[in-house]
Amino acid sequence: MVLRKPALPAGFAGGNGRLEATQIYVSTKYPGRVAEVLVNEGDTVEAGQVVTRMDISALQAQLREAEAQIRSAQDARNAAQAQVAVKQADYNYASKQDARSSELVPRGAVSQQEAEIDHAASLSARAQLAGARATAVQSASQIEAARATADRLRAEIADSVLRSPIRARVERRLAEPGEVLGAGGRVFTVNDLSDVYMYVYLPESVTGKVPLGSEARIVMDAAPQYPIRAYVSYVSPMAQFTPKTVETAEERHNLTFRVKLQIDKNRLRQFEPLVKTGLPGMGYVRWDTNKEWPANLQPKAVVPQNLWQATGASAGAK
């Protein structure tokens, strides 16, 4: 990294850093084979956009089987309910016959043995009715179980269509069609375009004076003439040795604090085409609010359309 020590007035501090963004992995929920990969590295995707489809042929076959089981269980329930009606009629007749026999025994019109036979028939009919009702309840439970299986399979099929959870830019494509992935297998790495920031390392003499929310600036090496307005969203509570790849604006210190410079979301939409993680730059913090920002760190009203100078074949093609 090229070390720079810009002349800063009192009340300001700066350090080198790299542009970063929150990374999210688009992953499979269930194991399976990748059927389609619909976006490439560098593409910008919207929240909810389909980016990958997994092979669902096996799931579809299982779903058809579950739906067939539902129909079979429904037929069994209909038959069980019809049987309940039959057993109910049998029980009604047997119970009435039992009651008549009991009334006729004292008169001598029916023997005690016949009355007992009619009573046993009534008890048997009642037991058969209870059995038929239990069978009907069991068949209803089988329908619910088959429906639950079908719902689970539909959910797995829906989860086999991978969508971007946020508006983001695809950074890395990690799987190709035909690959078999396990549960949680990663297909893409995407960068959240609404959460872009830079970490800088500042000495303890400065960080103690920097409150959260302090105004800051980010200046990319690729566009030093276009400072980006930012703010301090985090200051590490623990000191650490400065990384070898990072230098503070002042002399290098053994112990520094990591400071996060966050770019406003609304501002990010203006600079979105230019956001590329890993780009080096400088971050500046104003710890004395009575000081005015230098002219070279004042954000421009016009956002550049292109910051890159074409070289080689690209330059000759103009």
Question: Using one digit for the tens of pLDDT, what is the confidence trace for 34-46?
Answer: 999 999 998 989 9
Q: For residue 256, is pLDDT > 90? A: no
Same domain, 77 and 216: no
> Does 3 reside within a domain?
no
Residue of higher predicted confidence among 10 and 177: 177
Q: What global pTM score does this model have?
A: 0.68
Both 62 and 150 in one domain: the answer is yes
In this structure, is residue 47 part of a structural domain?
A: yes
Q: Would you say residue 199 lies in a domain?
A: yes
Same domain, residue pair 217 and 277: yes
CATH number of the domain within which 32 lies: 2.40.50.100
Range of the domain at 171: 25-56+166-186
Q: Does 311 map to a domain? A: no
Rounded mean pLDDT of 204-221?
A: 85
Q: In the predicted model, what is the mean pLDDT of residues 28-36?
A: 94
Within 160-239, residue ranges assigned H as helices are 204-207
pLDDT bracket for residue 24 (50, 70, 90): very high
147 plus 211 within the same structural domain: no
* The total number of structural domains that make up the chain: 3
Predicted pLDDT of residue 110? 67
What three-state secondary structure class fits 112? Answer: helix
pLDDT at site 243? 60
Residue 222 within any structural domain of the chain: yes
With tokens 């990374």, the residue in question is 23
Q: Which has the higher per-residue pLDDT, 122 or 98?
A: 122
Q: Check whether residue 72 and residue 83 sit in a common domain.
A: yes
* Better-scored residue on pLDDT, 296 or 304: 296
| CA 154/CA 50 separation, integer angstroms | 17
User: Hey, what's the torsion of the CAs at 295, 296, 297, 303, to 10 degrees?
Assistant: 110
Cα separation of 164 and 22, whole Å?
Answer: 14
pLDDT of 11 reads 84
* DSSP, residue by residue, 131-152: HHHHHHHHHHHHHHHHHHHHHH
